[in-house]
Protein backbone atom coordinates (compact mmCIF):
# COMPACT_ATOMS: atom_id res chain seq x y z
CA UNK A 1 0.00 0.00 0.00
CA UNK A 2 1.22 3.45 -0.85
CA UNK A 3 2.24 5.62 2.11
CA UNK A 4 -0.38 8.30 1.41
CA UNK A 5 -0.44 9.74 4.93
CA UNK A 6 3.35 9.94 4.94
CA UNK A 7 3.22 11.98 1.71
CA UNK A 8 0.49 14.24 3.12
CA UNK A 9 2.54 14.73 6.29
CA UNK A 10 5.69 15.66 4.35
CA UNK A 11 3.74 18.18 2.27
CA UNK A 12 2.13 19.68 5.36
CA UNK A 13 5.42 19.93 7.27
CA UNK A 14 7.26 21.47 4.31
CA UNK A 15 4.57 24.11 3.80
CA UNK A 16 4.37 24.77 7.55
CA UNK A 17 8.14 25.19 7.73
CA UNK A 18 8.15 27.60 4.78
CA UNK A 19 5.33 29.61 6.34
CA UNK A 20 7.00 29.78 9.74
CA UNK A 21 10.17 31.17 8.12
CA UNK A 22 8.37 33.64 5.86
CA UNK A 23 5.94 34.83 8.53
CA UNK A 24 8.64 35.38 11.18
CA UNK A 25 8.93 39.05 10.15
CA UNK A 26 5.25 39.43 11.12
CA UNK A 27 5.87 37.91 14.59
CA UNK A 28 3.83 34.83 13.67
CA UNK A 29 5.31 31.53 14.78
CA UNK A 30 4.46 27.84 15.02
CA UNK A 31 1.38 27.84 12.87
CA UNK A 32 -0.26 30.89 14.46
CA UNK A 33 -1.05 32.12 10.97
CA UNK A 34 -3.62 29.33 10.63
CA UNK A 35 -5.56 30.62 13.64
CA UNK A 36 -5.45 34.17 12.33
CA UNK A 37 -6.76 33.06 8.92
CA UNK A 38 -9.67 31.14 10.44
CA UNK A 39 -10.58 34.07 12.71
CA UNK A 40 -10.43 36.50 9.78
CA UNK A 41 -12.62 34.20 7.68
CA UNK A 42 -15.03 33.59 10.59
CA UNK A 43 -15.19 36.83 12.62
CA UNK A 44 -16.86 36.28 15.97
CA UNK A 45 -15.91 32.60 16.12
CA UNK A 46 -15.56 31.10 19.60
CA UNK A 47 -12.52 29.19 20.81
CA UNK A 48 -14.24 25.79 20.90
CA UNK A 49 -15.41 26.09 17.30
CA UNK A 50 -11.92 27.18 16.24
CA UNK A 51 -10.46 24.14 18.00
CA UNK A 52 -12.82 21.83 16.10
CA UNK A 53 -12.12 23.59 12.80
CA UNK A 54 -8.33 23.32 13.07
CA UNK A 55 -8.39 19.90 14.78
CA UNK A 56 -6.23 20.74 17.79
CA UNK A 57 -6.92 20.55 21.51
CA UNK A 58 -8.23 23.52 23.48
CA UNK A 59 -4.97 24.08 25.36
CA UNK A 60 -3.05 24.49 22.11
CA UNK A 61 -5.67 26.89 20.78
CA UNK A 62 -5.64 28.85 24.03
CA UNK A 63 -1.85 29.33 23.92
CA UNK A 64 -1.90 30.40 20.26
CA UNK A 65 -4.76 32.84 20.84
CA UNK A 66 -3.00 34.40 23.82
CA UNK A 67 0.10 35.07 21.70
CA UNK A 68 -1.98 36.46 18.83
CA UNK A 69 -3.80 38.74 21.26
CA UNK A 70 -0.61 39.93 22.98
CA UNK A 71 0.96 40.66 19.57
CA UNK A 72 -2.10 42.64 18.48
CA UNK A 73 -3.42 40.35 15.73
CA UNK A 74 -6.75 39.49 17.35
CA UNK A 75 -9.06 40.72 20.06
CA UNK A 76 -11.59 38.96 22.25
CA UNK A 77 -14.98 40.52 22.76
CA UNK A 78 -17.46 39.33 25.35
CA UNK A 79 -20.77 38.17 23.93
CA UNK A 80 -23.55 40.61 24.77
CA UNK A 81 -26.08 37.93 25.67
CA UNK A 82 -23.76 35.46 27.44
CA UNK A 83 -20.85 37.04 29.32
CA UNK A 84 -19.05 33.67 29.57
CA UNK A 85 -18.53 33.55 25.80
CA UNK A 86 -15.60 35.36 24.19
CA UNK A 87 -15.82 35.96 20.48
CA UNK A 88 -12.65 36.33 18.42
CA UNK A 89 -12.04 39.08 15.88
CA UNK A 90 -9.03 40.18 13.85
CA UNK A 91 -7.60 43.61 14.61
CA UNK A 92 -6.53 45.99 11.85
CA UNK A 93 -3.02 44.52 12.15
CA UNK A 94 -4.52 41.04 11.86
CA UNK A 95 -6.53 41.99 8.79
CA UNK A 96 -3.48 43.48 7.07
CA UNK A 97 -1.41 40.41 7.90
CA UNK A 98 -4.17 38.12 6.63
CA UNK A 99 -3.81 39.57 3.14
CA UNK A 100 -0.09 38.73 3.11
CA UNK A 101 -0.83 35.20 4.37
CA UNK A 102 -3.49 34.77 1.66
CA UNK A 103 -1.01 35.77 -1.06
CA UNK A 104 1.48 33.23 0.29
CA UNK A 105 -1.24 30.55 0.39
CA UNK A 106 -2.31 31.27 -3.19
CA UNK A 107 1.32 31.14 -4.34
CA UNK A 108 1.98 27.82 -2.53
CA UNK A 109 -1.22 26.39 -4.00
CA UNK A 110 -0.10 27.37 -7.50
CA UNK A 111 3.35 25.82 -6.97
CA UNK A 112 1.92 22.61 -5.47
CA UNK A 113 -0.56 22.09 -8.29
CA UNK A 114 1.72 23.07 -11.17
CA UNK A 115 1.19 20.79 -14.16
CA UNK A 116 -2.16 19.44 -12.95
CA UNK A 117 -5.27 19.82 -15.08
CA UNK A 118 -8.47 21.32 -13.67
CA UNK A 119 -9.94 17.82 -13.62
CA UNK A 120 -6.96 16.42 -11.70
CA UNK A 121 -7.16 19.26 -9.16
CA UNK A 122 -10.86 18.53 -8.64
CA UNK A 123 -10.12 14.82 -8.16
CA UNK A 124 -7.33 15.52 -5.63
CA UNK A 125 -9.58 17.93 -3.73
CA UNK A 126 -12.45 15.45 -3.57
CA UNK A 127 -10.23 12.57 -2.50
CA UNK A 128 -8.51 14.59 0.21
CA UNK A 129 -11.88 15.76 1.55
CA UNK A 130 -12.90 12.11 1.82
CA UNK A 131 -9.67 11.30 3.68
CA UNK A 132 -10.26 14.23 6.06
CA UNK A 133 -13.82 13.13 6.77
CA UNK A 134 -12.64 9.59 7.54
CA UNK A 135 -9.97 10.90 9.93
CA UNK A 136 -12.40 13.36 11.58
CA UNK A 137 -14.45 10.41 12.87
CA UNK A 138 -11.43 9.06 14.75
CA UNK A 139 -10.39 12.54 15.87
CA UNK A 140 -13.82 13.13 17.43
CA UNK A 141 -13.77 9.65 18.99
CA UNK A 142 -10.30 10.05 20.55
CA UNK A 143 -10.95 13.66 21.56
CA UNK A 144 -13.81 12.40 23.74
CA UNK A 145 -11.37 10.21 25.66
CA UNK A 146 -11.90 6.98 23.75
CA UNK A 147 -9.19 4.66 22.48
CA UNK A 148 -9.05 3.28 18.98
CA UNK A 149 -8.65 -0.48 18.46
CA UNK A 150 -5.86 -1.27 16.03
For the chain, percent of residues with pLDDT exceeding 90: 76
Buried b (16+ CB within 10 A) or exposed e, 41-75: eeeebebeebbeebebeeeebeebbebbeebebbe
pLDDT band of residue 1 (cuts 50, 70, 90) is: low
Res. 109: pLDDT tops 60: yes
**pTM of the predicted structure, to 2 decimals:** 0.84
How much is the pLDDT for 25? Answer: 87
121 and 113 in contact (C-beta within 8 Å)? Answer: yes
Which tens digits make up the pLDDT trace of 51-94?
Answer: 999 999 889 999 999 999 999 999 999 988 988 899 999 999 99
How much is the pLDDT for 79? Answer: 87
DSSP 53-94: HHT--HHHHHHHHHHHHHTTSEEEEE-SS-TT-EEEEE-HHH
Amino acid sequence: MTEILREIGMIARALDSISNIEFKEYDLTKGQYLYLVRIYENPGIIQEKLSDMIKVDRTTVSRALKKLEVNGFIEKKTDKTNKKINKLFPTEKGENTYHFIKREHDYSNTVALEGFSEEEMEIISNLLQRVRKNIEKDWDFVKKGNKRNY
